[in-house]
Amino acid sequence: MNRIIITLAAVLISLSCAAAPSDPTENLLPKPTSVTPGKGSYKLPATPLKVKVSGPDAAALDTLLASYGFQPVTKGKADVTVSYGSTDSEAYTLKVTSRGLEIKSEGAPGAFYGVQTLRQMLDSGLDSWPCMVISDAPRFPYRGVMFDVSRHFRTVDFIKKQIDAMTRLKMNNLHLHFTDAAGWRMPVESYPKLNTQAAWRPQTKWSDWVAAGTPYATEGQPGIYGGYYTKDELHDLIDYAAARHIRIIPEIEMPGHSEEVVAAYPEVSCSGIGSDLCPGKEATFTMLQAILDEVIDIFPSELIHIGGDEASKSAWHTCPDCQRRMQEEGLSDVDELQSYLIKRIERYVNSKGRRIVGWDEILEGGVAPDATVMSWRGVKGGHQAMAEGHDVVMTPVGYCYIDYCQDAPFTQPVSIGGYTPLGRVYSFEPADSTLSDAQLSHLLGVQANLWTEQVTTDEHAEYMYYPRTYAIAEIGWSPAAKDYDDFHRRALVMNSLLDSLGYHVFDLANEYGERPESLTPVTHLALGAPVTYATPYNSKYPAQGATTLTDGILGGWTYGDNRWQGWLTDIDLTVDLGRVQPLHMLSAAFMHSPGAWVHLPKNVVYEVSTDGVNFEKAGEAWCDVADDYQSIMMKPYTVPVDTEARYVRLRAKANDRPGAWLFLDEIIVN
């Protein structure tokens, strides 16, 4: 009898589980605003879902639905009904009822995003869904990705493939960086040498091109590398993106990052060479306005990106044309001269019914009144711009630059340096608690940037984009509350999906993680000892100030983690151990990351003293790593000793490369 009862109980439990289908929303990325459970369930049909659409230009959505494997219908019963109005709303509701599925929105974008949620729910593989209501809307109106097609030309098909991934992630802005020193990619009829010369180079790899002296080539020469888009290709790309509610924002760099322009048309520079255009010459504005006319003719985007970052401005100090312009316009310095150029370009773009967006350097010397700012040098520029009433897209380098390594550098392809893992990107909060409601009203959203100096192939580019772009998508769309473990789980699912679709994604499941030495504090004789700086650390990389080098905390994979202290000079430091004591080992680890101009010291000399006045050499360690070794590494400069001392002096000789940094995390004494 007991055996019968146990068997009956097992059957009832089994039936109960079968009657309660699993949740198809558990892997949604980005996470929706809310999911409200209902009663009952819906059994999905075995055939492709029939979808009936009602709304403006329903045929356009029908075309996409068919490409996604749905069966659009206009008559009869449908499994899914989609209805939307004529606004630009991105909000939607998705209802699962016992009779079928309903997607509703006040606008076509919202209906489209509801379809993307439905696609992800179908990816769960479940054939029975519990009834529910998904109410969803983006947290921010701007959710973007930047593609650097200047350093390495990408085909239209490649960009369309990435648009498809953006679509799944509900991202809506694609920023194309068309121009920079390494290649001009915009079609320009008015200045044809930008396409026939400035778009081509002899070397494929950017680093090889730089090492060769950045030469350009002429279209048609055998063996050259590069390219540019035709107007027809760009129109096709714009239409493809627009059908998926993605805006393409073109960027034309000015006045800096213009070596390729100067190479083709030296008359628009101060002296015929260099990276900056000359704001003192009218020929510069004639060219820029003609180029912008062609850009505006192709791109319907209200925002036109004009760069504005990292102009050296060095030639402007002595250029007679620049000095005359400054005198005529009453400008006090070259920052105001750059502002003059930006404001003049803004007036021209405004006259065409468009608005400019630029990197946060456009704030220097006074920002143009209606400009949108992309804050990349941290968040400070964005906060300033919002306080001044400017719209802002947050894209700070420490969180949103995905050209940095996403895992332990020795496991990764060559990159420009740094370490920005998925968790770091996900941790970014654009709406800082210090911002007022008035400032926050100007916060448009977030963007991921992939600069491709070291990213030659399409496969490498995808590897850098995914999964870190998922985090930007979630930050831009989902509520502010964060749960990294849950996000990481959903990111693994999205990675598997994209991998199955032919994308080359980073192996998140086997992530190595942070530098192990940085995870556990170290104990040594110099712990907490005061350090005298004969050569002060650079103000840009103070880490934790005077306590950094003896706090027992080692640095991670990136010099920007506030654990590594930086110098642009040789280093001369002295540690006071507090008393004379036996010493057996002296050590200090330095970083090597040549893509970021971070190099190991040529040598490190250790000296010891009992009185702090009379020092004797205790040992010396030399660099045994080639300057051009491309991978990031940490090298300890260690010497064994057998002495007694109270004071330990470290002198490190910087690499000879102009602008080379030295980064040090701890002086260890045992």
Q: Which of 180, 403, 561, 607 is catalytic?
A: 180
Residue 531, strand partner residues: 575
CA-based torsion, 56, 60, 64, 70: positive or negative: positive
Separation CA 526–CA 244 (nearest Å): 60
C-beta of residue 654 within 8 angstroms of C-beta of residue 633: no
Alpha-helical runs (H) found in 156-315 = 156-168, 193-196, 206-211, 231-243, 259-264, 282-298
Active-site residue 310, yes or no? yes
Instruction: Tell me, yes or no, if 245 is annotated catalytic.
Output: no
Tokens representing 123 are 């990816």
Q: Which listed residue (219, 310, 336, 388) is catalytic?
A: 310
Q: What is the 3-state secondary structure (H, E, C) of 554-618?
A: CCCCCCCCCCCEEECCCEEEEEEEEEEEEEEEEEEEEEEEHHHCECCCCEEEEEEECCCCCCEEE
Which residues, at least 6 apart from 371, have a Cβ–Cβ distance to it below 8 Å? 342, 346, 355, 356, 357, 358, 362, 390
Surface-to-core class of residue 379, CB atoms within 10 Å of its CB (0-12 exposed, 13-18 middle, 19+ buried): buried
What residues contact 16, with CB distance under 8 A and at least 6 apart? none
- Rounded to the nearest 10°, the torsion over CA 452, 457, 459, 461 is 10
Contacts of 78 (CB under 8 A, 6+ apart): 50, 51, 52, 100
What is d(CA 67, CA 64) in angstroms, rounded to the nearest whole number?
Answer: 5
- CA atoms of 361 and 21, how far apart (whole Å): 54
- Give the DSSP letter string of 401-456: BTTSBSS-GGGS---SS-B--HHHHHT--SS-TTS-HHHHTTEEEEEEEE--TT--
DSSP letter (8 states) at residue 10:
H
Answer yes or no: are the C-beta atoms of 194 and 188 closer than 8 Å.
Answer: yes
Which of 175, 177, 245, 257 is catalytic? The answer is 257
Question: Residue 282: CB partners within 8 Å, gap ≥ 6?
Answer: none
Active site residues: 180, 257, 310
